[in-house]
Structure 1
């Protein structure tokens, strides 16, 4: 077994947004000629997440809007430090990592599935996503 680790760096433009990172992950798989294994996608930031869903603009807005409705603006204790408690709280109901199989050299996603970086405290520069591949 071999393990490969690479990083993707993203600049985000909005307070909350979903960025499709599927093409970058596929490029890493292709570049390393991975035929069979697992890919783990992980954010290094506590105000972000990694999601799998459909890349449709209305749905992406719905996801952001729903998170914002679930976690409303209010006077959170953490805001005394960084004024971003809401972003941290939204991240706790998402996930910082996703793991998917690679089968026959292809990332195993359903027809409508894409992998997204979920920004919850933007805009930010150089958001890092770690791509770790375990090749069989």
Structure 2
């Protein structure tokens, strides 16, 4: 099962990992149609498919910051990162993308995005076909 690691440099940030997922697929020489699952094995990060345009990525960060306030959560008494868990809960820890003849079958503007909610950290992602 291919894995790769991504380093993030901010508490809340969105990174395009499409090329890294494609690299992981290169090890799978299957033909025809399949499904690729990209999974982040952390509870304070998410994986989504959306457009990787820089202003939109900033909007995603702003949106998550507005929807889930940084403070005021019971879990903060333990770790101080309840907001990160709640943001990741909204996003989900995986996404699925069709694969056709060994390549991601994404739409014109679609990319696979890692959403870091509790950085900076190193995140491990798994790619399963």
Please indicate, yes or no, whether the TM-score normalized by the shorter chain is above 0.5.
yes
Deviations 1:65-114 (A, max 9, x none): 00110011222110111100010111111111111111122211000000
Unpaired stretches in structure 1, ≥5 consecutive residues: none
Q: Compute the TM-score of the two structures, normalised by the length of structure 1.
A: 0.89
* Number of residue-to-residue matches in the alignment: 128
Unpaired stretches in structure 2, ≥5 consecutive residues: none
The equivalent position to 1:42 in structure 2, one of 39, 43, 47, is 39
Structure 2 CA distance, aligned partners of 1:100 and 1:34? 15
Following TM superposition, where does structure 1 have runs of at least 4 consecutive aligned residues deviating by more than 4 angstroms? Answer: none
Residue 18 (structure 1) aligns with: 14
Residue 8 (structure 1) aligns with: 4
Cα contact 1:35–1:102 (8 A) shared by 2: no
Q: Compute the TM-score of the two structures, normalised by the length of structure 2.
A: 0.94
Structure 2 CA distance, aligned partners of 1:94 and 1:32? 27
Deviations 1:27-77 (A, max 9, x none): 122232232321100110110000111111100000010011001122211
Tell me how far 1:22 sits from its aligned partner: 0.6
RMSD: 1.1
Deviations 1:5-41 (A, max 9, x none): 1111111101111111111111122232232321100
